[in-house]
Chains A and B, each alone.
Chain A
C-alpha cells in the first residue's frame, strides 16, 4: 500500500484547496495587521495602562503627634484600627464566586451588599478601596483567617485618635475628623488624602500643621489580587510633632470637678473656668461644661449622635471658655475704678455716696441694696460692689474713655490662643451703638448712646460682652500689675526624636495705661472683698483656704432690660496677693448669686492649686 521510493508527487492545488490556503493566509495576515496596530500604534498607551495596573503610589500616613500636659502626661494616644481594603479588579473572576465573596465581605464588614457593591463600582477597579474603617479585633481575626479565600481583599491598619478623659480635656484638645467635603480641594493642595483625618476644633485644629507630620509614600508593585509584590521606592513618613501644653492635667481635672460639683449644687448645667499663670499667660486649666465625647468624632460621627449634640439645650459643642460671650457684670468694676482713678475723676481716698438708687434724667438706676450703704472710697466700693458708686464714676469718666480702658484690659479682643473659635466679646461705645441699633434711621433715638448706657457700662452691663478666657486675662493683668498677657496653651513642641523645636515665649500684648498706685488701689478693693468683714471670707474659711489674694464676684443680667432679668454668675480671682501665681475666672450660666454659686468653685480650684503648687510648678 505504502508507496516507497520515487519522486514525491506534485501537490494538486485544486480551486478549493487554493482558496482555503488563500483564506488562511488572508485571515492570519489580518490578525497580524490588527496585532501590529495593537502592539505598535496603541502599544505606548496600553503599556502605560499596564504600568498603572500594577504600579501604585501608596501614601504612608504619618503618625499624628501626641499632645501632652505640662508634665508629659499624654492626653491623647494613637490606637491601631483595622480596615478592610478591596481591589475591585482582584475579586474572584467567576460571577458566582464573586457574588459569594461580596456577600462574605459585606457580612464581615457589617454593611449591606448593595452599599458594598456601589462603593466598589464608584472606585477605580485597580485602586484599593477602604470599605470599613473600624473593624473590631474579632472581625479582623475572622477576616485574616479567610483572606486566602478572598482574592483582592487585604487588611490595612491605621492609627486612630483616642482621647483620654474627653469630657475633661475635650474642649481644649478638640478632635480630628474626616476631611470635610467642602474642604477637600483646599486640603488636597496641602497633600491631604481624601480619607485623611484633620483637626477640627481645639488644639487639634489650632496646631494641625505641627501635629500632622509629613506623609510618606511608596511606589509599590501589586499583583492582580492587590497583593504587594515589591517596593520600588519609598519616602518614609515623618511623624507629627509632640505638643506639650501648659495645662496641668491634675489641675484641669480638679477644675472640672470643682466646676461640675459647684454647678450641680444649685442645679446649673453649664459653666466654664479658665485658670492661668498671671506672670506668663500660660493657661493651666480651661474647662467648659458640659463637655462631650470627642472620641465620637474620630471615626466620623453618626448622624444620630451629632444631631443629639446639636439639639442638646446645654450646647455641649460650645466651648464656653473661649466662645461663650456674656456680660461681665460687677467683675467689670475694676475697669471703671481704674479709669476713674487714672483719669483723675477720683482718688483712692475720694468718698462717694452709695445710695439705693440714682436718678439719671428721669430714669431710676438701682443699687443691689435697697438702702444706702453710706460714704465709701473706691476700695470699699469694690468690696461691697456698690453699683451706685460706679454709676457715678462711669458718668464722670464717660463712655469713650471707659471703652478705652476696657480694651486696654483686653476686653473686646479675640485672644491669640492656640485654638480656633476664640470670640472677642464686645466693648460698646456710641459709634458701635449707632451702627448696630438695628433700625434704618441711624439718627433715631434707639441709635443714640444715652447716659443710661454709660452708667450701666460702668457696672459691666449695657452691651458689654466678655468670655471666661478674656476674664482670666483681665484678672491676670490686675494680678501682675497691669500687663495684659497673651494667653497660651502650648508650652513646648518637640519633634519625633524628642528634640524641642519650639518653646513658648511670654508675650505682653498691652499694658494698662495706669500708674502702679492706681492699680494697687483697685487690687486693694479686691483684697478687701474676700476678707472680713465681708461675707465672701466665709467661703474661704469653710474651705480652709487662706484669703490671700484678690477677688470679685459679678451677677450679670442678660436678655434685655428690666428688673427681673435672668442672670449669669461670675467670679474672678488671683492669689496670692503679693506675688500672684494664679489668676482664674469662673462662669456659671444662669447663676443667680455669684458669691454663693460661683466663688466657692474658684476657691476649690485655688485650694487644689495651693495643695499641689510645687508639683504643678515642677518641670
Chain B
C-alpha cells in the first residue's frame, strides 16, 4: 500500500504546509493554532489515504444532505465576521462550512457523475441542480469566492467526466449571460470590489486599498525578497488580511520572485500529480474525485494568487495550505488524502482487471 502512495505529492504537501506555517508566523497570526490544524489535517490526510474512497459513494447523498443542513444552519445561527455570516461554532471551534462544502461537493458530484459512463442531458441538469443549492446558500452568506470555486468545480468535473461539448458550451454561455446580471446578484461590497478591480484608483482609501497594498507588497519583494520576517508591508500591517486572503502578498514580499516561483512550481507539480492520480484511478468515481480535487485546488490557487497580484478581482479565498485557517487547511489536506486513497487503490496493471474506463477517449485507446 505504501508503495503506491504518491510520495512526491506527500512531499509537496508537507513543503507547502511548512511554508504556510512560516508565512502565518511572519504575518503574526496565531501560528501555534495553525500548526495544530496542520497536524489535525495530517491525521485526516493519513486517515483518508487508508480509507477506501469507494465507500464514500454510498454515503454521498447523506453527505450532501449534511452539507446543505450546515449551510442553512450558518444562516440561522452562524457567527458574523467581516460582514459575512460564515462560521458555525462546533465543539467550541469555529467551523466554516463553506470550506468543507467544497470537498463535499467534489465527492457528491463524483458519485453522481460516476453512475453512468456518459453524461446525458438529464444527468447534466441533475449535476447543475446539485451545485445550485449549496452555491446559492454560500453566495447568500455572502461568500463570492467559494461560490466561484463551486462553479469551477462543477464545470471542471463535467469537463473531466466527459461532458459533451454542447453541455460545456451551454455552461459557458450561461456564465457569459449571467455577467450582466451580476449587479443584481452581488452584494454591495462584492460589486464594489469588482468595480475597484476594474479601476483601483477609484477608492484608494477603501476597497481599493487592499488591492493597492497587496500589489505594493508583492512588487516590493523584488527578485530575492526582503527575507523571512522582514517584509515591510506585511510586518507593518499595510497588507490587509495578511495571513488569510492576502497571504500570498505577505509571502511574495518576503521571499521575492524566487520564492514565489518555487511556490507556484510546487502548486503546479501538485496539480499535475493530482491529475496523474486521476489517470491511474481504478474506477470512474476515483478518477472524478481526483479530478474534482484538482479543480478545487487549481481554482483557489489561481484566484488567490491572481487577486494578490491584481489580475483578478478580490474574492475572499484562502491559498490552499498557506493561508491561516482551520477549516480550509483541514479540508485541503483531507481532499489530498482522498487523492492518495485513489492512488493507493489504483487499477492493476493487467488490463483484464481494469474496470471499463469511464472516459470515452480512454475507452477508445484501450480498444485499439
Q: Which residues of A are in contact with B by a Cβ distance under 8 Å?
A: 1-4, 6-9, 11-17, 20-21, 24-25, 27-28, 31-32, 34-36, 38-40, 42-47, 49-51, 53-54, 88-89, 91, 93-96, 98, 120-121, 125, 221-225, 229
A15, closest chain B residue (CB): B361
Q: Is B346's CB under 8 angstroms from A39's CB?
A: no
Measured in the bound complex, the distance between the Cα atoms of B275 and A12 in whole Å is 10
Q: Is B205's CB under 8 angstroms from A121's CB?
A: yes
Q: Is A27's CB under 8 angstroms from B302's CB?
A: yes
Q: In angstroms, how far is the closest chain B Cβ from the Cβ of A5?
A: 8
Known contacts A3-B4, A32-B260, A44-B222, then 12 further A-B pairs from the complex at CB < 8 Å, ordered by chain A residue: A2-B344, A3-B347, A12-B365, A28-B301, A31-B264, A38-B215, A40-B223, A46-B218, A89-B209, A120-B205, A121-B205, A221-B236
Measured in the bound complex, the distance between the Cα atoms of B188 and A96 in whole Å is 12
Q: Is A3's CB under 8 angstroms from B346's CB?
A: yes
Measured in the bound complex, the distance between the Cα atoms of B238 and A89 in whole Å is 9
Encode B249-268 as 1/0 by CB contact (under 8 A) with A: 00011001100110010011
Measured in the bound complex, the distance between the Cα atoms of B276 and A88 in whole Å is 50
Encode B223-259 as 1/0 by CB contact (under 8 A) with A: 1000000001100111010000000000011001100
Provided the pairs A15-B361, A39-B219 are in contact, do residues A28 and B159 lie with their beta carbons within 8 angstroms? no
Q: Is B338 an interface residue, CB under 8 A from the partner?
A: no
Q: Give the residues in chain B near A120, CB-CB below 8 Å.
A: 205
List, sorted by A's number, 26 A–B pairs whose CB atoms are closer than 8 Å.
A2-B344, A3-B282, A4-B1, A6-B348, A6-B350, A8-B346, A9-B347, A11-B279, A12-B280, A12-B357, A14-B365, A20-B160, A20-B291, A24-B272, A25-B268, A28-B301, A35-B309, A38-B219, A39-B256, A50-B220, A51-B232, A53-B232, A54-B232, A88-B205, A93-B209, A225-B237
Q: Is A50's CB under 8 angstroms from B217's CB?
A: yes
Q: Give the residues in chain A near B353, CB-CB below 8 Å.
A: 3
Contact of B279 among A1, A14, A25, A43 (CB under 8 A): A14
Q: In angstroms, how far is the closest chain B Cβ from the Cβ of A10?
A: 8
Contact of A20 among B54, B156, B206, B217 (CB under 8 A): B156
A221, closest chain B residue (CB): B236
Measured in the bound complex, the distance between the Cα atoms of B52 and A98 in whole Å is 51
B210, closest chain A residue (CB): A93
A2, A7, A17: most-surrounded residue (chain B CB, <10 A) = A17
Q: Is B362 an interface residue, CB under 8 A from the partner?
A: yes
A229, closest chain B residue (CB): B236
Measured in the bound complex, the distance between the Cα atoms of B209 and A125 in whole Å is 10
A53, A91, A221: most-surrounded residue (chain B CB, <10 A) = A53
Q: Is A95's CB under 8 angstroms from B189's CB?
A: yes
Q: Is B271 an interface residue, CB under 8 A from the partner?
A: yes
Q: Is B298 an interface residue, CB under 8 A from the partner?
A: yes
Measured in the bound complex, the distance between the Cα atoms of B206 and A17 in whole Å is 42
Encode B273-292 as 1/0 by CB contact (under 8 A) with A: 00110111010000000010
Q: In angstroms, how far is the closest chain A Cβ from the Cβ of B117?
A: 13
Provided the pairs A6-B349, A24-B272, A43-B221 are in contact, do residues A35 and B237 lie with their beta carbons within 8 angstroms? no
> Which bracket fits the contact residues of B?
35 or more
Q: Give the residues in chain A near B306, CB-CB below 8 Å.
A: 31
Q: Is A94's CB under 8 angstroms from B82's CB?
A: yes
Measured in the bound complex, the distance between the Cα atoms of B359 and A54 in whole Å is 56
Measured in the bound complex, the distance between the Cα atoms of B282 and A438 in whole Å is 114
Encode B345-368 as 1/0 by CB contact (under 8 A) with A: 111111001000101011001000
Q: How would you classify the secondary structure of chain B's contact residues: helix, strand, loop or mixed?
A: helix
Q: Is A38's CB under 8 angstroms from B348's CB?
A: no
Q: Is B261's CB under 8 angstroms from A35's CB?
A: yes
Q: Is B276's CB under 8 angstroms from A49's CB?
A: no
Q: Is A24's CB under 8 angstroms from B82's CB?
A: no
Measured in the bound complex, the distance between the Cα atoms of B309 and A225 in whole Å is 23
Q: Give the residues in chain B near A36, CB-CB below 8 Å.
A: 257, 261
Measured in the bound complex, the distance between the Cα atoms of B252 and A229 in whole Å is 23
Q: Is B267's CB under 8 angstroms from A28's CB?
A: yes
Measured in the bound complex, the distance between the Cα atoms of B82 and A94 in whole Å is 7
Q: Is B171 an interface residue, CB under 8 A from the partner?
A: no
Q: Give the residues in chain A near B223, CB-CB below 8 Å.
A: 39-40, 43
Measured in the bound complex, the distance between the Cα atoms of B160 and A1 in whole Å is 25
Q: Is B257's CB under 8 angstroms from A53's CB?
A: no
Measured in the bound complex, the distance between the Cα atoms of B294 and A222 in whole Å is 42
Provided the pairs A8-B4, A9-B347, A224-B237 are in contact, do residues A35 and B279 lie with their beta carbons within 8 angstroms? no
Q: In angstroms, how far is the closest chain B Cβ from the Cβ of A231?
A: 15
Contact of A54 among B218, B236, B305, B309 (CB under 8 A): B236
Q: Is A224's CB under 8 angstroms from B347's CB?
A: no
Q: In angstroms, how far is the closest chain A Cβ from the Cβ of B361?
A: 5
Encode B161-201 as 1/0 by CB contact (under 8 A) with A: 01000000000000000000000000001000000000000
Q: Is B216 an interface residue, CB under 8 A from the partner?
A: yes
Measured in the bound complex, the distance between the Cα atoms of B240 and A360 in whole Å is 94
Q: Is A91's CB under 8 angstroms from B309's CB?
A: no
Contact of A24 among B162, B271, B310, B346 (CB under 8 A): B271
Q: In angstroms, how far is the closest chain B Cβ from the Cβ of A568?
A: 61
Contact of B302 among A20, A31, A38 (CB under 8 A): A31
Contact of B238 among A31, A121, A224 (CB under 8 A): A224
Measured in the bound complex, the distance between the Cα atoms of B238 and A51 in whole Å is 11
Q: In angstroms, how far is the closest chain A Cβ from the Cβ of B84?
A: 11
Q: Is A39's CB under 8 angstroms from B264's CB?
A: no
Q: Is A32's CB under 8 angstroms from B261's CB?
A: yes
B189, B279, B294: most-surrounded residue (chain A CB, <10 A) = B279
Q: Give the residues in chain A near B207, CB-CB below 8 Å.
A: 95
Measured in the bound complex, the distance between the Cα atoms of B347 and A35 in whole Å is 40
B357, closest chain A residue (CB): A12
Q: Is A35's CB under 8 angstroms from B257's CB?
A: yes
Provided the pairs A3-B346, A224-B236 are in contact, do residues A21 and B275 lie with their beta carbons within 8 angstroms? yes
A6, A21, A89: most-surrounded residue (chain B CB, <10 A) = A21
Q: Give the residues in chain B near A98, CB-CB below 8 Å.
A: 206
Q: Is A42's CB under 8 angstroms from B205's CB?
A: no
Q: Is B348's CB under 8 angstroms from A9's CB?
A: yes
Measured in the bound complex, the distance between the Cα atoms of B4 and A299 in whole Å is 80
Q: Is B204 an interface residue, CB under 8 A from the partner?
A: yes
Provided the pairs A16-B160, A20-B275, A125-B204 are in contact, do residues A42 and B361 lie with their beta carbons within 8 angstroms? no
